[in-house]
Amino acid sequence: MKLTRQKHAKKNMGFYKHNFHFREPFQVLLDGTFCQAALRNKIQIREQLPGYLDGAVQLCTTGCVLKELESLGKALYGAKLIAQRFQVRNCSHHKDPVSGSACLLSMIEEGNPHHFFIATQDQDLANKVKKKAGVPLLFIIQNTMVLDKPSPKSLAFVQKLQTNQLVPEHQKQSIVQLKEKEGLAKQEGEKRRKRKRAGGPNPLSCLKKKKKKTQEGQEPSAEKNKRRKRKRKRVKAEAMLSVKNEEE
């Protein structure tokens, strides 16, 4: 049973790693209900969860969750002690705290850019999480932690990605950050500014080609000069001969 559960967890983690770029350390947002269930079932979250997800984990919560646990008094005192051991992520409800479930939902808005897992036993919160693509859901059942299979919303989102109908927001941000890091964004901007003007022909192509005097081209002119000299000599010789004949 344990091997089957681990196998399903590995498969589901592969889905989120490949399609939504989840990386270690995995950030898990926990609410009071999950902490209470872990306490009741004697589950050591910090020790057991990294092995189950097969990677380093950062356990975290929010100020709203802690205040909600404080307001519930002694009934959830043990859950409050557990939650206080986790890192507290900043939320937008410093002045006006909201319920723990509403706060966690606000942390995964806009495509879950921080790649949070949500760990809860609140069924209403779980149903709302399933309506958002790319948000892994953890819960406790039969004394064990379980990573829920990808929701239909996540599967449909990945299907659209594979048909190139949209690009996830977190991926756009990652691309922009990588371009800025490598200096590609600036180069692309410069390339766009430097547009090629419609110019005329290449000025080098307009230059007149110099005639090459080849040895072959010189030979016919030399022969021509020789012929002229011979002709002059012959004409001169004939003239002298005719003068001589007249004198005789």
Residue 211 clears pLDDT 60, i.e. is over it: no
123-154 pLDDT per residue, tens: 999 999 999 999 999 999 989 999 999 999 99
pLDDT at 248: 56
Q: How confident is the model at residue 244 (pLDDT cuts 50, 70, 90)?
A: low
Q: Could you tell me if 68 and 99 are in contact, meaning their C-beta atoms sit under 8 angstroms apart?
A: yes
pLDDT at 82: 96
The 3-state DSSP class for residue 237 equals helix
pLDDT at 124: 97
The lowest-confidence range among 11-15, 20-24, 52-56, 192-196 is 192-196
Mean pLDDT value of segment 175-200: 67
Residue 77 clears pLDDT 80, i.e. is over it: yes
pLDDT at 197: 62
Q: Cα separations (Å) of 17 from 4, 14, 68, 185, 187?
A: 20, 5, 32, 26, 31
| Residue 60, token pair as written in the block | 């975290």
Q: Cα separations (Å) of 145 from 37, 168, 235?
A: 10, 29, 125
Residue 211: φ, ψ to 5°? -75, 130
pLDDT at 88: 96
Share of the chain above pLDDT 90, in %: 57
| Residue 133, token pair as written in the block | 């693509």
Residue 84: φ, ψ to 5°? -70, -15
151-187 pLDDT per residue, tens: 999 999 999 888 765 666 666 677 777 877 777 655 6
CA distance 145 to 2: 11
pLDDT at 192: 63
